[in-house]
Amino acid sequence: MQHRFTVILYLLSFPFLGFYFNDRVKKNAFIMALVFSVFAYVPAFFYSSRGAEPIPRLRNKEAAVLADIIAQNKTPESGLIVDFYDWESTYYVAFMSGLPKSNIVIIDQSSSDDVIKTEIKNLLDRHPKGFMLYYDKGKLPNEAYISGDTLRFNNIHITLIIKSLYDKEGVGLYGYRWE
């Protein structure tokens, strides 16, 4: 994006090139234009060569805490089941967990029960250990319930052993193990 600003800078400096054609200041204008070009154009290449890096801004800092917990405790074989609870936070947690996309299932509010069950079953087959973000008002409580240190799915007869890693205001992060 830096190159666009450089091009605009050059376009806006074209009127000053008229001084170049004036015989009295021709030599000084050429030197000034050359110096200006070097100081404006060359640093633009060094600045833009690093690439763009977005600065994530969160209104809800809870998502950053959840993502940090997952990132610190994950292994390459970990899975992640995320119950949708907020546009900003749900995808932030999934992205910042550092897990590959194939290790993550996001349970969307519009997903059908059959699709959810299939995705969860497939994820658990590939990743029997991992993390689950459980939201009390999300879709997951309709599909499963927590009883002590276990989570049982209603219609797919899967029981996970869970360990609470974070629990606050209806949002819980659990480590799960399927045996």
pLDDT 10s digits, 112-149: 878 888 888 898 999 999 999 988 888 888 888 888 89
Residue 59 scores a pLDDT above 60: yes
Domain contains 53: no
pLDDT digits (tens, 9 = 90+) for 143-173: 888 888 988 888 778 888 899 999 888 888 9
Backbone angles phi, psi at 112, to 5 degrees: -75, 160
pLDDT at position 105: 92
Same domain for 82 and 158?
Answer: yes
Same domain for 154 and 111?
Answer: yes
pLDDT digits (tens, 9 = 90+) for 87-99: 888 888 999 888 9
Domain that holds residue 33: 2-48
Same domain for 111 and 162?
Answer: yes
Tokens of 50: 């690093």
Same domain for 99 and 22?
Answer: no
Q: Are residues 155 and 103 in contact, defined by beta-carbon separation less than 8 angstroms?
A: no
Same domain for 28 and 97?
Answer: no
Closest listed residue to residue 178, CA positions, set 122, 137, 97: 122
- Predicted TM-score (pTM) of the model is 0.66
Confidence of residue 58 (pLDDT cuts 50, 70, 90): confident
Same domain for 42 and 68?
Answer: no
pLDDT at position 50: 56
Confidence of residue 27 (pLDDT cuts 50, 70, 90): low
Same domain for 102 and 152?
Answer: yes
* Alpha carbon distance, N-terminus to C-terminus of the chain: 51
pLDDT at position 100: 92
How many domains is the chain built from?
2
Residues whose CB is less than 8 angstroms from the CB of residue 35 and which lie 6 or more positions away in sequence, other chains included: none
Comparison of pLDDT for 153 and 10, the residue scoring more: 153
Q: DSSP assignment, residue 16?
A: G
